[in-house]
Structure 1
Amino acid sequence: MLTPLLSNGLARGDILTFDPHAQNEAFNNTANSYVYEALLNLNKGKVQPCLAESWTSVPEGFVFKLRKGVKFHEEEPLTAEDVAFSINRALHPISQFKTFTAGILGAEALPNGDVLIRTINHSPVLLNQLAYLRILNKAWAEKHGAAAPQNFVAKEEAYAAKHANGTGPFKLQSREVDIKTVFVENPDWWNKANKVVNVTEGIYTPIKSAATRMAALLSGEVDFVPDPATQDIQRLKNNPKVKLQSGPELRVLMISLDQMRDESPYVFVDGKKTDKNPFKDIRVRQALYQAIDIKTLQRAVMRGFSLPNGSIISSETNGWSAKAAERLPYDPQAAKKLLAEAGYPNGFEFTLDCPNNRYINDEAIGKALAGMWAKIGVKVKVNAIPRANYFPKVLRYDSSVGMVGWGASTQDALFPLQSLVETVDVKKAMASRISAEFQILSWML
């Protein structure tokens, strides 16, 4: 369904990459979904056929029968080899889609044209995950040096980052980073008879300034803005020419604390680096938690457009529990006491890394948190940077404290749990995703 894409839209930050396995970020994934498709679709929590018209559970995993007559944008027919290549590509060590390949061992093309995806078990949620593993043409990828995903963390320049060859309803016509991206209708899309919108061209333009975005929308220069500033909501409601849609997200916004290392790179005690990481002490983590005035964040920063949450699972997700989402009370005095008991009566210092163009009011939230933590003696420097720089920074663990937004794309509670909760052997290579070495402080936006 293509409702987010209208004829001319804009937002704060740009699309990060068109490599479908390089960067797992919701906004980026949405842009890729106009061009690339998966074996299955997920619609209101229900798995539906897409490039696969049917599937069967077998002892080794699942066998998928591919839809006939599907072609890539450059006219190549979809084959089992393309599908197997794409699934295995998503399993590559530098892929950022490991959360969606959890439970998958590999894929292979069968002689009859079907595809076997080998799995650890037959978890029904695995089918939900497959809706986010998009398929690209094997020969095209190999021709353009894209047999492996772009190394987004290392900021690798790659052909597949600015070009695309999918099977989706739109083709990527042109790509000017941080300026403009143009999509045009795919006239040969296999599912054109069921297309639900009449868009033939989509132009996406990133504009950082909220005021400029709003002026463009109200003047009719653009048709759609996905992230209006909270202070502009009432103004939009009062404009009869504007249709405003809002509601809870599948995403939970969190603050992650580095518990993995004895010496965290941006933590200081008495103005000096320390080999005693404060975040390893649960009393410190709880102190920071209880110093957050969540109601003030909801009222003053988010203008009421947020839902407090004490869980990493969104209230819009299957498996959410109201009891598990109950937060500890806001209590700065108790927080100060906990810090003193942990050996930090005078507090300490750290840098909070956060994007300034990804989440609604992300930088403002970071600054508000810094002010709240200052009241218990913890000095925080807010390092707010564009998301194109932020994500590679935190993914290579060049951070002590970071802001993380995580959604349950599969619409099931297992997804954030298997994505965010794991243990890491620090003597080996670090994990490629946010893990249990971070204590989560969360509220839902």
Structure 2
Amino acid sequence: MKTRFSTLALAAALPLTMMAAAPALSDDLRIGLSSEPSSMDPHFHNLGPNNALRQHIFQSLTYSDENMQIRPSLATAWEATTDTTWEFTLRDDVSFSNGDAFSAEDVIYSICRVPMVEGSPSSFTSFVRDIVGVEVDGSTITFTTDGPSPLLPTNMSSVAILNASVYGGEGVEFSADGCANMGDLPASTDFSSPETAIGTGPYTLENFVPGDRIELTRNADYWDGTPSWDNVTLRPIANPGARVAALLAGDVDVIETPPIQDFDTIREAGFQIDQGLSNRVIYLHMDSGEEVPPGVSGTDGVNPFADVRVREAISKAINRDAIVERVMGGVAVPAGELLPYPLFGTREDAEPDVYDPERSAELLEEAGFGDGFEITLSSPNDRYINAERVAQAVAQFLSRIGIRTGVDAMTASTFFSSRNNQEFGMWLAGWGAASGEMANSLTALVATRDPDTGMGSTNRQRYSNPAIDALVMEARRTVDDDAREEILQRASIMAMEDYATVPLHFEVTPWAFAEGLELTPRVDQYTIAMMVRPAE
């Protein structure tokens, strides 16, 4: 199996030889999704399936392309005019799908609404939190931030722009303490109606049947050319086998994440597969607090994970190449840090830890655990590619050095709830950096947990290193890109040397699709109609 990379070395693709005629294509596109979006409201839930869906209907000032590079969208340019001000130039001659002209008022309304969404399970507020002032001068909108905010252009790619007049938001006035003239705020459920889901994107909502399908229609007034498809149908098909069956039967034209073991069947039936290296790292976390965590025994009341030598021993005991080859079927890349090169803040020379079980045994002896101990490794079994099998492989490697390891695999909903309640001592999970830069991964997985600042939001392992925290905070205040990248590289080196997190591999995301189509893989793993087009 051979992987080809784009000029950024990220959008890998693998066309598979076609053996039979695939179904004829029309001007409509049908996509089988592995997960259904939880809402049509683009401000409700910061979740991958939702973020992918909203790009069809709603746009932002900037957008993240297939390689997670920030590009112009409703803004044509942006510039940091001081350490605490950003100036964006808005695009002219853009209309919403109902014919209303796009303006700065819509931007202000959208930024104001984000923190006002009720019941959000994962809010977008962090993307607009820094903004404390807004000024408009013609087609220029200037944001004043509470301190340096180098990621504001990146953050803006996650904030969907709504049509203020649809919701009675004409004359909206921004205030960091609460905006005025917001009209009657729409409920998130209102966006299931085509009359409410009004954006500037390439498609409009035609019909939403929860649990069955989302139907989209080409936006005839789209400002950026003509979309490839007249109609797009998104069908949630959670079961991997059922997704493959739907593709083979011609019920859908594209499916996401086909099982690796079905690649040959898909190829022999006349379909294609493209795959792209993703920003999602599969990693191990270990509760390194003072007390012995759940699932750990045989340590005489000492938490072994609090000792960096034990964390290093665990990392060196794992043969990442073997996992990639034998468990992942080559559809993964061994990881040496939390993001793949060349995403922002990564290093080309960041090599995965070398498999060295003899050194692992020595490290355990040095740490006082020469006789080993027992642990339970927890993992979701329905969230990441072959996660349960990866966990089983890790358990075998650890058992060979005397860390007798059992695996407890469970559904993702149970896993994340239990993890957040500190019910695990060691667990396997995945993280995809939404911003495409190292600050996101370090902030979420490594930084000391502080709900008030958002630091350590996914650091449930009680790891804390003030020196890394200081570098991450410095990077978040540094507007100059070159300086910020150098700071993040130093922080990443420090985190890897301290085994703050043990990265295993980066997922390579596959899509399967019918003959006559071309597909551009996305690093963020989103499945959107705009990445699919008729073959030339």
Whether these two folds match at TM > 0.5 is yes
TM range (shorter): 0.7 to 0.9
- 1:246 maps to 275
* 2:92 maps to 1:63: no
* 2:408 maps to 1:382: yes
Q: Percent identity?
A: 23
Work out whether residues 292 and 330 of structure 1, in 8 Å CA contact, stay in contact via their aligned partners in 2: yes
- Point out the more displaced range, 277-286 or 168-177: 168-177
- 1:149 maps to none
Work out whether residues 55 and 63 of structure 1, in 8 Å CA contact, stay in contact via their aligned partners in 2: yes
Counterpart of 1:212 (choices 222, 234, 242) is: 242
- 2:294 maps to 266
Give the superposition deviation at 1:36: 2.2
- Point out the more displaced range, 221-230 or 359-368: 359-368
The 4+ residue runs of structure 1 with deviation greater than 6 A are 91-94
- 2:356 maps to 331
Counterpart of 2:204 (choices 167, 171, 174) is: 171
- 1:444 maps to 506
Question: Structure 1, unaligned stretches of length 5 or more?
Answer: 147-157
- 1:353 maps to 379
Give the superposition deviation at 1:175: 4.1
Residue correspondence of structure 1 range 276-355 to structure 2 within 5 A: 276-324=302-350, 326-344=351-369, 345-354=371-380
Give the superposition deviation at 1:430: 7.5
CA gap of 1:242–1:161, structure 2 versus 1, over 3 A, is same
Residue correspondence of structure 1 range 35-434 to structure 2 within 5 A: 35-43=57-65, 44=67, 47-59=70-82, 60-68=84-92, 70=94, 72=96, 78-87=102-111, 95-97=122-124, 100=127, 104-106=130-132, 108=134, 110=136, 112=138, 114-119=140-145, 120-121=147-148, 123=150, 126-137=152-163, 139=167, 143=184, 146=187, 159=189, 165-167=197-199, 168-177=201-210, 179-191=211-223, 194-208=225-239, 210-239=240-269, 241-259=270-288, 261-263=289-291, 266-270=294-298, 276-324=302-350, 326-344=351-369, 345-354=371-380, 356-375=381-400, 376-386=402-412, 390-391=415-416, 394=419, 399-424=424-449, 431=455, 433-434=457-458
2-side partners of 1:256 and 1:366: how far apart?
A: 12
2-side partners of 1:64 and 1:429: how far apart?
A: 26
- Point out the more displaced range, 357-366 or 410-419: 410-419
1:18-59 Cα shifts (integer Å, max 9, x gaps) = 443454444442122222211112335654332224444433
SS at match of 2:332: coil
Question: Structure 2, unaligned stretches of length 5 or more?
Answer: 1-26, 169-181, 464-499, 508-536
CA gap of 1:232–1:56, structure 2 versus 1, over 3 A, is same
With normalisation by structure 2, the TM-score equals 0.66
Work out whether residues 409 and 415 of structure 1, in 8 Å CA contact, stay in contact via their aligned partners in 2: yes
CA gap of 1:205–1:27, structure 2 versus 1, over 3 A, is closer
Larger radius of gyration: 2
1-side partners of 2:106 and 2:293: how far apart?
A: 43
Work out whether residues 218 and 229 of structure 2, in 8 Å CA contact, stay in contact via their aligned partners in 1: no
Work out whether residues 269 and 348 of structure 1, in 8 Å CA contact, stay in contact via their aligned partners in 2: yes
With normalisation by structure 1, the TM-score equals 0.78
CA gap of 1:47–1:321, structure 2 versus 1, over 3 A, is closer
1-side partners of 2:399 and 2:59: how far apart?
A: 47
SS at match of 1:132: coil
Work out whether residues 30 and 254 of structure 2, in 8 Å CA contact, stay in contact via their aligned partners in 1: yes
SS at match of 2:406: strand
Work out whether residues 236 and 242 of structure 1, in 8 Å CA contact, stay in contact via their aligned partners in 2: yes
Question: Match for 1:229: what amino acid?
Answer: P
Work out whether residues 377 and 408 of structure 2, in 8 Å CA contact, stay in contact via their aligned partners in 1: yes
1-side partners of 2:422 and 2:112: how far apart?
A: 26
Give the superposition deviation at 1:313: 1.7
SS at match of 1:323: coil
1-side partners of 2:342 and 2:259: how far apart?
A: 22
Give the superposition deviation at 1:419: 4.4
Give the superposition deviation at 1:366: 2.4
RCO comparison, higher one (Cα < 8 Å, 6+): 2
Question: Match for 2:325: what amino acid?
Answer: R
1:93-128 Cα shifts (integer Å, max 9, x gaps) = 9754477568x34453537575332233373x5423
2-side partners of 1:40 and 1:320: how far apart?
A: 23
1:117-170 Cα shifts (integer Å, max 9, x gaps) = 2233373x5423322222235637974565xxxxxxxxxxx5378667251223
1-side partners of 2:72 and 2:453: how far apart?
A: 37
Query: In the comparison of the two structures, how many residue pairs are matched?
Result: 417
Give the superposition deviation at 1:298: 0.9
- Point out the more displaced range, 108-117 or 127-136: 108-117
1:214-236 Cα shifts (integer Å, max 9, x gaps) = 22212212111111111222333
Question: Match for 1:206: what amino acid?
Answer: I
Work out whether residues 73 and 165 of structure 1, in 8 Å CA contact, stay in contact via their aligned partners in 2: no
